[in-house]
Protein backbone atom coordinates (compact mmCIF):
# COMPACT_ATOMS: atom_id res chain seq x y z
CA UNK A 1 0.00 0.00 0.00
CA UNK A 2 2.92 2.34 0.63
CA UNK A 3 3.95 2.00 -3.02
CA UNK A 4 0.45 2.94 -4.21
CA UNK A 5 0.37 5.93 -1.86
CA UNK A 6 3.76 7.14 -3.12
CA UNK A 7 2.68 6.77 -6.79
CA UNK A 8 -0.62 8.63 -6.38
CA UNK A 9 0.65 11.58 -4.33
CA UNK A 10 1.17 14.97 -5.95
CA UNK A 11 2.13 18.30 -4.35
CA UNK A 12 -0.90 20.03 -5.93
CA UNK A 13 -3.37 17.35 -4.85
CA UNK A 14 -5.94 18.47 -2.32
CA UNK A 15 -7.75 15.14 -2.52
CA UNK A 16 -6.62 11.56 -2.86
CA UNK A 17 -9.19 8.80 -3.03
CA UNK A 18 -8.10 5.23 -2.46
CA UNK A 19 -10.34 2.17 -2.89
CA UNK A 20 -9.16 -1.21 -1.64
CA UNK A 21 -11.15 -4.34 -2.51
CA UNK A 22 -10.46 -7.39 -0.37
CA UNK A 23 -11.46 -11.03 -0.57
CA UNK A 24 -14.47 -11.63 1.66
CA UNK A 25 -15.53 -14.88 3.27
CA UNK A 26 -18.84 -15.29 1.45
CA UNK A 27 -20.46 -15.00 -1.96
CA UNK A 28 -24.02 -15.77 -3.09
CA UNK A 29 -24.83 -17.57 0.16
CA UNK A 30 -21.69 -19.72 0.05
CA UNK A 31 -18.78 -19.62 2.48
CA UNK A 32 -15.55 -18.82 0.64
CA UNK A 33 -12.06 -19.91 1.77
CA UNK A 34 -10.06 -18.31 -1.02
CA UNK A 35 -10.24 -17.02 -4.59
CA UNK A 36 -8.07 -17.58 -7.61
CA UNK A 37 -7.94 -14.82 -10.22
CA UNK A 38 -6.76 -15.51 -13.76
CA UNK A 39 -6.45 -13.15 -16.67
CA UNK A 40 -5.25 -12.73 -20.20
CA UNK A 41 -2.59 -10.28 -19.01
CA UNK A 42 -1.76 -8.45 -22.28
CA UNK A 43 -5.42 -7.63 -22.85
CA UNK A 44 -5.95 -6.76 -19.18
CA UNK A 45 -3.03 -4.33 -19.28
CA UNK A 46 -4.45 -2.66 -22.41
CA UNK A 47 -7.88 -2.33 -20.79
CA UNK A 48 -6.39 -0.85 -17.62
CA UNK A 49 -4.50 1.69 -19.74
CA UNK A 50 -7.76 2.59 -21.52
CA UNK A 51 -9.44 3.15 -18.17
CA UNK A 52 -6.64 5.44 -17.04
CA UNK A 53 -6.90 7.39 -20.30
CA UNK A 54 -10.67 7.73 -19.79
CA UNK A 55 -10.12 9.00 -16.25
CA UNK A 56 -7.63 11.61 -17.42
CA UNK A 57 -9.99 12.79 -20.18
CA UNK A 58 -12.97 13.20 -17.81
CA UNK A 59 -11.39 14.57 -14.62
CA UNK A 60 -8.43 16.86 -13.86
CA UNK A 61 -6.37 14.22 -12.06
CA UNK A 62 -2.68 14.31 -11.25
CA UNK A 63 -2.08 10.61 -10.80
CA UNK A 64 -4.05 7.40 -11.10
CA UNK A 65 -3.02 3.93 -9.94
CA UNK A 66 -5.01 0.84 -10.97
CA UNK A 67 -4.02 -2.61 -9.75
CA UNK A 68 -5.78 -5.98 -9.83
CA UNK A 69 -3.93 -8.96 -8.47
CA UNK A 70 -3.82 -12.32 -10.21
CA UNK A 71 -3.36 -15.69 -8.53
CA UNK A 72 -4.57 -17.36 -5.34
CA UNK A 73 -5.77 -14.98 -2.61
CA UNK A 74 -7.04 -15.79 0.87
CA UNK A 75 -9.89 -14.13 2.73
CA UNK A 76 -8.82 -10.65 3.84
CA UNK A 77 -6.13 -10.21 1.20
CA UNK A 78 -6.17 -7.22 -1.13
CA UNK A 79 -7.45 -8.08 -4.62
CA UNK A 80 -7.86 -4.68 -6.27
CA UNK A 81 -6.73 -1.12 -5.64
CA UNK A 82 -7.71 2.12 -7.36
CA UNK A 83 -6.22 5.43 -6.28
CA UNK A 84 -6.63 8.89 -7.80
CA UNK A 85 -5.26 12.30 -6.85
CA UNK A 86 -6.77 15.62 -7.89
CA UNK A 87 -6.91 19.22 -6.72
CA UNK A 88 -10.30 18.62 -5.11
CA UNK A 89 -11.90 15.67 -3.34
CA UNK A 90 -15.00 15.47 -5.51
CA UNK A 91 -13.02 14.81 -8.68
CA UNK A 92 -10.87 12.26 -6.86
CA UNK A 93 -13.96 10.45 -5.50
CA UNK A 94 -15.70 10.39 -8.89
CA UNK A 95 -12.63 9.23 -10.81
CA UNK A 96 -11.82 6.50 -8.29
CA UNK A 97 -15.41 5.19 -8.37
CA UNK A 98 -15.34 5.20 -12.18
CA UNK A 99 -12.03 3.28 -12.10
CA UNK A 100 -13.24 0.38 -9.97
CA UNK A 101 -16.54 0.11 -11.86
CA UNK A 102 -14.73 0.14 -15.22
CA UNK A 103 -12.23 -2.51 -14.10
CA UNK A 104 -15.07 -4.83 -13.07
CA UNK A 105 -16.89 -4.26 -16.37
CA UNK A 106 -14.15 -4.36 -18.98
CA UNK A 107 -10.91 -5.94 -17.75
CA UNK A 108 -10.67 -9.66 -18.63
CA UNK A 109 -10.25 -11.14 -15.16
CA UNK A 110 -11.91 -14.38 -14.09
CA UNK A 111 -12.12 -15.93 -10.67
CA UNK A 112 -12.65 -19.26 -9.03
CA UNK A 113 -14.26 -19.26 -5.59
CA UNK A 114 -13.16 -22.12 -3.34
CA UNK A 115 -15.56 -23.30 -0.63
CA UNK A 116 -14.67 -25.29 2.54
CA UNK A 117 -16.34 -28.34 0.98
CA UNK A 118 -13.91 -28.15 -1.91
CA UNK A 119 -16.43 -26.76 -4.33
CA UNK A 120 -15.40 -24.34 -7.02
CA UNK A 121 -17.61 -21.64 -8.45
CA UNK A 122 -16.26 -19.94 -11.57
CA UNK A 123 -17.41 -16.41 -12.23
CA UNK A 124 -16.26 -13.23 -13.88
CA UNK A 125 -14.94 -10.49 -11.58
CA UNK A 126 -17.74 -8.04 -12.39
CA UNK A 127 -20.22 -10.08 -10.40
CA UNK A 128 -19.13 -8.18 -7.31
CA UNK A 129 -17.61 -10.91 -5.19
CA UNK A 130 -14.74 -8.59 -4.34
CA UNK A 131 -15.81 -5.50 -2.47
Residue 90 has pLDDT above 80, yes or no: yes
Number of domains in the chain: 1
Length of the chain: 131
We report the CATH number of the domain holding residue 100 as: 3.90.1170.40
For 13-62, the three-class secondary structure string (H helix, E strand, C coil) is CCEEEEEEEEECCEECCEECCEEEEEECHHHHHHHHHHHHHHHHHHCCEE
- Asked whether the predicted pLDDT for residue 123 surpasses 80, the reply is no
pTM: 0.89
In a domain? residue 129:
no
In a domain, 126, yes or no: no
The percent of the chain in helix, strand and coil, each rounded to the nearest 5, is 35, 40, 25
| Domain assignment of residue 125, yes or no | no
Tell whether 31 is covered by a domain. Answer: yes
d(CA 123, CA 112): 6
Tell me the percentage of the chain whose pLDDT exceeds 70.
92
Domain for residue 10, yes or no? Answer: yes
Report pLDDT for 117.
87
In a domain, 127, yes or no: no
Please report which confidence band the pLDDT of residue 124 belongs to, taking 50, 70 and 90 as the band edges.
Answer: low
Measured between alpha carbons, how far is 129 from 44 in angstroms, rounded to an integer? 19
Task: pLDDT band for 127, please (50, 70, 90 cuts).
Answer: very low
> Residue 105 falls within a domain, yes or no?
yes
Residue 71 lies in a domain: yes
Amino acid sequence: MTEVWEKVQHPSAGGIDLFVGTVRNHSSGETIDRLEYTSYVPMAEREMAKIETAIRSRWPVYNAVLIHRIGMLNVGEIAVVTAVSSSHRNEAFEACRFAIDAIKLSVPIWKKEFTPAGGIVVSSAEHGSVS
